Structure 1
Amino acid sequence: MARVLIIEDEPKIASLLSDYLGHAGYDPVIAETGGAGLEALQQHGADVVLLDLMLPDMDGLEVCKKIRAAGNTPVIMVTAKVEEVDRLVGLELGADDYICKPFSPREVVARVKALLRRMASVSLDSQDQNKDNPSGITLDEDRIEVRYQEQSITLTVVEFALLKTLAERPGHIRSRQQLIDRIYNDNRVVSDRTVDSHIKKLRRKLADAFPGVEFIHSIYGAGYRFELTDKEA
């Protein structure tokens, strides 16, 4: 039974989400503040975090940042701020998805299911990929980590799936729409800017961990390509 941590300060919304998730077969846990949510995550863990952006003790983006600093638990941001900049900031900090208020509880359950399915898909596909990987990169499905030259970094679920998709066919260009279709398979509307935001964060992580090596190349007007190159060459 997957545990879903609901960090939400509005009791009616938290209770509604908990009821729907419970009926869907999940184990919901409610925290009314960011601090309580971080403590619950540290003590009991979670498979997915539903994180409200507006919390009484700290900003939801700050909570997301702390969750990301501690590990790779998938985070779905829940926000009433529908401006594109707020969505992108949330994704930049490592959120795996976002839902805008007002929302249908059934939609939230569907998003949680989709995220967990995506994690399972990443695990199975990564096992096949690592059997024959000429690039020298290892994708660890259990830890959602990428290893290269005896170094490793932890990614978010979306970042891991993006890297896996690109690394499946080194040298081949994947358009933004192809990446959207592979990563988000529940027919939602996802903008190119959202993909670009995830790619930007992924490239930054790879550059910090593996300086001097470039993994993902932007192809103007076409998309992205995976190919290991020496930046100094």
Structure 2
Amino acid sequence: MMNERTAVVVEDDHDVADAISGLLDQAGFDVVVATTGTDALSAIRDHRPDLVTLDLSLPDIDGVEVCRQIRLVSDCYVIVVSARTAEVDRLIGLEVGADDYLVKPFSMRELQARVAALFRRPRSSDAFASESATTTAAAALRTHAPASSAVAVAVAPSLTIGCDHLTLNRGAREVLVAGQEVDLTRTEFDLLAHLVVNAGVVVPREELLRAVWATEFVPDSTHVVDVHLANLRRKLRSAAPDNEWIRTIRGVGFRFDPCCP
């Protein structure tokens, strides 16, 4: 019987590739190995994997560029596996779309734990819808507005939020503004979803790092959060120029306001 999940291992060191492939195979993945960036991008387009492990030092294309191109065609989980230890390399990897960063040498048990943590990230649609409805209604009460003006709950898990009908569908991982789909990366969608769940409440940058990246690795700088949120805001503004749903609370974090100003 075919496995339900597929992984692409991008690694030009055959020993490392064999070790990662063996681990993922035991974890129930169908595994495809690519030794160059070009082969990796072809494999990702052909196999539509759920997970990619990505070495940054490849013989043809730098892994950072590979990650950037992956995000143009796939919303899969990406774990960078690299010997580059500088914080700037970790930040760049996360900023271009990686979900986690693992430094060589590493233990297979650590990789196994990181993969398991990533696949625990999606929450059930029903739980998301219930929690979102509760928190947005609470935010409406705090502003003395009727809950219906802040959020209209459609068929779960679809939520319509804001004056211009920002619709966030957790199950389909889809965001619509005024009926038009907004193309978000996995990280941008998860940031928006976490802020929506906590509508009206200031969410610290450190909490967003842990909640969205689902890893114990927290960089010394939270700049990576600002980078992804800037991209998210730009896309939302492009779809609805008159609305500013995400507010920056200086020195603390961000707040999602469900109603238009």
Per the shorter chain, which TM-score range? 0.7 to 0.9
Offset, 1:102: 1.4
Aligned residue in 2 for 1:215: 245
Aligned residue in 2 for 1:60: 63
Tell me, in whole angstroms, the C-alpha distance in 1 between the residues paired with 2:120 and 2:173: 14
Task: Tell me which amino acid in the other structure corresponds to 1:72.
Answer: D
Which stretches in structure 2 are left out of the alignment for 5+ residues?
133-156
Larger radius of gyration: 2
Aligned residue in 1 for 2:141: none
1:112 aligns with 2:90: no
* Matched residue SS, 2:111: helix
Structure 1 residues 93 and 205, CA gap change in structure 2 (3 angstroms): farther
* Pairing of 1:1-233 with structure 2 (within 5 A): 1-118=4-121, 120-121=122-123, 123=125, 125-128=127-130, 129=132, 130-135=157-162, 136-185=165-214, 188-191=216-219, 192-227=222-257
Deviation string for 1:29-75 (max 9, x for gaps)? 11111111111111121001111111111111111111111232222
User: Which segment drifts farther, 147-156 or 3-12?
Assistant: 147-156
Which stretches in structure 1 are left out of the alignment for 5+ residues?
none
* Matched residue SS, 2:223: helix
Tell me, in whole angstroms, the C-alpha distance in 1 between the residues paired with 2:249 and 2:85: 30
**Percent of pairs with identical residues:** 41
Offset, 1:195: 2.9
Q: TM-score, normalised by structure 2?
A: 0.77
Offset, 1:157: 2.8
Structure 1 residues 126 and 159, CA gap change in structure 2 (3 angstroms): farther
Deviation string for 1:104-158 (max 9, x for gaps)? 122112212211221x317554454445544332223355332111222233333
Root-mean-square deviation (CA, aligned residues, Å) is 2.4
Tell me, in whole angstroms, the C-alpha distance in 2 between the residues paired with 1:199 and 1:70: 20
Deviation string for 1:137-190 (max 9, x for gaps)? 22233553321112222333332222111112322211123323433555x131
* Matched residue SS, 1:166: helix
Offset, 1:84: 1.9
Tell me, in whole angstroms, the C-alpha distance in 2 between the residues paired with 1:205 and 1:190: 26
Q: TM-score, normalised by structure 1?
A: 0.86
Structure 1 residues 194 and 34, CA gap change in structure 2 (3 angstroms): same
User: Which segment drifts farther, 133-142 or 86-95?
Assistant: 133-142
